[in-house]
């Protein structure tokens, strides 16, 4: 390991502590120091199996379709780690080329470039749609498929697997997956969106990777409970703003914070539409729930401050203080007497959450 400048403000790429040592291979390749700094030889050795993937392969320059760092939601890619004021120990890793979905499979208008064409100017951004029985049946089917895809991904999560391999196993199309290997003690969120028969189904869960510390276990469980408590109040006549009050109260009781930058949303033939459902207290969401509405609730709960930052890929949101965050999400249908969780766990869903065990 090479030693950096005495007054280094860099953080260890593995643990986040102040770092003065630098990966010699990264120095040789003149890669940005931000992702190559380590506090000790032990941290460097422990991180090597995943860190070495940031080193471009000898033929990388001749392989424009090869593994590269993602920028601007995938519209730009780079052979080098972008310069950025990273928070915490997590760093981006190169991603593979975009997977091809067969032409015979119907796709939403945002599938190729991530940019919706109809959605921004739809009147469903201003009014909450009441779904017809036929639309509801299509959504039930689509959400069931989304659940099955998420469960398939959950079954293969373990130390040593990459998020790209998880993506390949389930053919997800929402998140940016890379070749960083999951490590023992990680927590990982998998977010699935399925488009089928003209409608969307959306859900996500946060999973443990190997042996996880108690603070992370508490964070993930509390986030799960926040979603469950919010779902419990969903019924006709409830104000959308009440969802945030319920979630914020439960998270605060555990000393955790609620992200304010992202919210639940209406869903159906459009991926995102009215209503917007904030997850924090004292929000100004308008409207009340009515039978036939479909929307998501998807709280992000942080171990530290609620503030977030966006990586140079313009997609990955991370905590401003580098501490951990967890999220859970369901797509819901408001019924005459309550709600139906369209993306609910199935009897066949993997047994991954200890608090659900009998």
Whose CA is closest to 34, among 96, 95, 92? Answer: 92
Collapsing DSSP to helix, strand or coil, 26 comes out as helix
Measured distance between the N- and C-terminal CA atoms of the chain, rounded to whole angstroms: 49
Instruction: Look at residues 169, 168, 160, 151 and name the one whose alpha carbon lies nearest to residue 210.
Output: 160
DSSP symbol at 159: T
Half-sphere exposure of 61 (CA within 13 A, CB side): 2
Question: d(Cα 138, Cα 143) in Å, to the nearest integer?
Answer: 9
Is 202 one of the annotated binding-site residues?
yes
Short-list 63, 61, 16, 62, CA closest to 35: 16
The answer to whether the beta carbons of residues 203 and 267 sit under 8 Å apart is no
Dihedrals phi, psi of 146, to nearest 5 degrees: -60, -40
Residue 272, annotated ligand binder? yes
β-strand pairing of 317-319 with 308-310:
antiparallel
Distance CA 9, CA 17 (A): 10
Closest CA to 183 of 204, 163, 153: 163
Provide Rg for the chain, Cα atoms.
21
Q: Is 168 annotated as a binding residue?
A: no
151 labeled binding residue: no
Q: What are 182's strand-pairing partners?
A: none
Q: Which DSSP string corresponds to 53-93? A: GGSPPTTGGG-TTS-BEEEGGGTEEESSPPP----SS----
The kind and range of the H/E element at 50 are: helix 41-51
* Residue 250 in marked binding region: no
Inter-residue contact 246 to 229 (CB < 8 Å):
yes
Annotated binding site, which residues? Answer: 191, 202, 265, 272, 298, 329
Annotated binding residues for a protein, written as ranges, equal 272
Annotated binding site for Zn(2+): 191, 202, 265, 298, 329
């Amino acid at each position: 390991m090479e030693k950096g400048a005495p007054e280094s403000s860099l953080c260890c790429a593995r643990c986040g502590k102040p770092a003065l040592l630098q990966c010699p291979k990264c120095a040789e390749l003149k890669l940005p120091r931000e992702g190559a700094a380590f506090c000790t030889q032990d941290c460097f050795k422990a991180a090597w199996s995943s860190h070495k993937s940031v080193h471009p392969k000898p033929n990388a320059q001749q392989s424009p379709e090869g593994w590269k760092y993602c920028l601007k939601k995938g519209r730009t890619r780079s052979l080098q780690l972008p310069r950025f004021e990273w928070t915490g120990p997590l760093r981006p890793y190169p991603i593979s080329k975009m997977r091809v979905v067969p032409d015979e499979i119907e796709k939403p208008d945002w599938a190729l470039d991530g940019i919706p064409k109809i959605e921004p100017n739809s009147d469903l951004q201003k009014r909450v749609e009441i779904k017809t029985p036929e639309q509801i049946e299509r959504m039930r089917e689509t959400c069931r498929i989304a659940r099955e895809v998420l469960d398939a991904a959950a079954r293969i999560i373990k130390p040593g697997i990459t998020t790209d391999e998880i993506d390949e196993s389930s053919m997800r199309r929402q998140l940016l997956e890379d070749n960083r290997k999951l490590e023992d003690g990680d927590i990982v969120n998998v977010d699935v969106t399925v488009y089928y028969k003209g409608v969307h189904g959306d859900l996500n869960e946060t999973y443990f990777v190997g042996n996880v510390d108690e603070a992370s276990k508490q964070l993930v469980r509390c986030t799960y409970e926040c979603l469950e408590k919010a779902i419990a109040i969903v019924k006709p006549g409830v104000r959308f703003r009440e969802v945030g009050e319920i979630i914020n109260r439960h998270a605060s009781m555990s000393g955790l914070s609620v992200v304010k930058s992202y919210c639940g949303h209406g869903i159906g033939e459009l991926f995102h539409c009215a209503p917007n459902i904030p997850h924090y207290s004292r929000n100004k969401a308008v409207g009340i729930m009515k039978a036939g509405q479909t929307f998501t609730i998807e709280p992000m709960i942080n171990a530290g401050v609620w503030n977030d930052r966006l990586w140079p890929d313009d997609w990955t949101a991370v905590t401003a203080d580098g501490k951990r965050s967890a999220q859970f999400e369901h797509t819901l249908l408001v019924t005459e007497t309550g709600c139906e969780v369209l993306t609910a766990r199935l009897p066949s869903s993997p047994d991954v959450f200890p608090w659900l065990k009998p």
